[in-house]
Amino acid sequence: MFSTGTAYSTPPSGKPRRRRPLRDYWQRVTEGLAIQQLWGQMKADARATYSFYSHDVDWEAMGKGKRWKRPFRIAWALFQAMLMKLTPARRVLLLIACVLLVVNLKFNISDRQVSFDLGGIGTAILFLLLALELADRVTMKRDLEIAREIQHWLVPEHPPAVPGVDIAFATRPQNTVAGDYYDAFLRAGPEGHAGQSLLMVVADVAGKSVPAALLMATFQASIHSLATRPGSLDELARDLNRYACDHSLMGMRFTTAFVTEYDSSSRRIRYINAGHNAPFLRRAAGAIERLSEGGMPFGIDSSTEYRSEAVTIESGDLLVIFTDGLAEAVNGGGEEYGESRIQARVEAFTHESAASVLALLMGDVDAFVGPARQHDDITCMAVRFL
């Protein structure tokens, strides 16, 4: 006979299987992560939290005075930085909770047998503050999830079907929404050309999260609107820059971009690099070229003129375009992935498809970074010319 309180289930084999609610609960809470992975996440979170609050600390002032007092001054400064992130009402609650936890006295009313534990009241206030902050976070996360869905509508889910061109995208925002942008679509060909050309763009709006995402949306709208007009790539870049200058908050929100146009009839690309990381063009024979010509980022100077460069493409060539978040991905030791590692990976690619190229490249970055928290948006586009 089974002991009381033990639950069993019957699997297909017919043998009873013991349920383990505690283990099941732990699996649900940890989402199946191992202890080492959890510890890595906690360390990454601790470093990110310290970095977030330490920005508000006057470290020059911390170095003054007696050395033995320095840890207490730093702890107090970090506490003040955390306190001032709260609303005024919650600041008061946090201060009251801290005082009650420090005092931690118990009062008894003997005739009525009533006891008050100030430390317990302080703990309850801390849980109340945690619940309030979690409610705000969940509400904001829900709104950001909606914003992320809108962002997904603004970028292509699948590349356009163009004979002789294999395209793949990969993007990973630092937060729920990103300031990176990628796109590939057909537009009217150059003047005097009856066919269509393939326009490809990867851009990075200065900043992160919601402000950058909003400007990314305006950049997407502008490039789709301006690309419908007949004109050269130079004229498109000029108009993009003027539009960006009108929405850049006096140059504070500029946009780096790599814009290229592929003409299948001439097997040539024309490109403009507006202050962006120079993409890698791996020739079928193995040589590496960097596409760096163009001008300053969009949104800084409305009078800037851009001149495109032309490159002849051969069958088997591979073009890899990326944002700085890929090159500047940092591991737990503070070491950057770097463009030299990207180049080494690109040099090793021979006949892989564009999707395979991105899978291998992003996998290599993940292995390098490990559990360290991502600190910038990462976007990459691979184009294999067949």
With CA atoms as reference, report the closest residue to 181 among 346, 336, 298, 302: 298
DSSP secondary structure letters along 49-111? HHHHHHTTS-HHHHTSS-GGGHHHHHHHHHHHHHHTTS-HHHHHHHHHHHHHHHH--EEEETT
Res 6: pLDDT: 43
With CA atoms as reference, report the closest residue to 167 among 361, 381, 11: 381
Instruction: Return the amino acid letter for 30.
Output: T
Q: State yes or no: pLDDT of 55 exceeds 50.
A: yes
Q: State yes or no: pLDDT of 111 exceeds 70.
A: no
Classify strands 309-312 and 268-274 as parallel, antiparallel or unpaired.
antiparallel
Range name among 112-116, 313-317, 324-328 with the lowest pLDDT average: 112-116
Range name among 128-132, 174-178, 185-189, 374-378 with the lowest pLDDT average: 174-178
Q: Report angle CA 38, 44, 45 to the nearest 5 degrees.
A: 90
Res 9: pLDDT: 47
Burial 136-171 (b: 16+ CB within 10 A, else e): eeeeeeeebeebeeebeeebeeebeebeebbbbbbb
Q: State yes or no: pLDDT of 109 exceeds 80.
A: no
Q: State yes or no: pLDDT of 108 exceeds 70.
A: no
CA 94/CA 161 separation, integer angstroms: 58
Res 5: pLDDT: 44
The 3-state DSSP class for residue 200 equals strand
* Farthest-apart Cα atoms in the chain, separation: 100
Q: CB of 114 within 8 A of CB of 90?
A: no
Structure token pair of residue 171? 């993007």
Best-predicted range by mean pLDDT (24-33, 41-50, 68-77, 286-295)? 286-295
Q: State yes or no: pLDDT of 2 exceeds 50.
A: no
* Domains in the chain: ranges and CATH: 27-150 (no CATH), 156-385 (3.60.40.10)
DSSP secondary structure letters along 243-293? HHHHTSTTTTS-EEEEEEEEETTTTEEEEEEESPPPPEEE-TTS-EEE---
pLDDT tens-digit profile of 246-294? Answer: 876 665 678 999 999 999 888 999 999 999 999 999 999 999 999 999 9
With CA atoms as reference, report the closest residue to 308 among 277, 274, 270, 258: 270
pLDDT tens-digit profile of 361-371? Answer: 999 999 999 88
Percent of the chain residues topping a pLDDT of 90:
38
pTM above 0.75, yes or no: no
Q: State yes or no: pLDDT of 210 exceeds 60.
A: yes
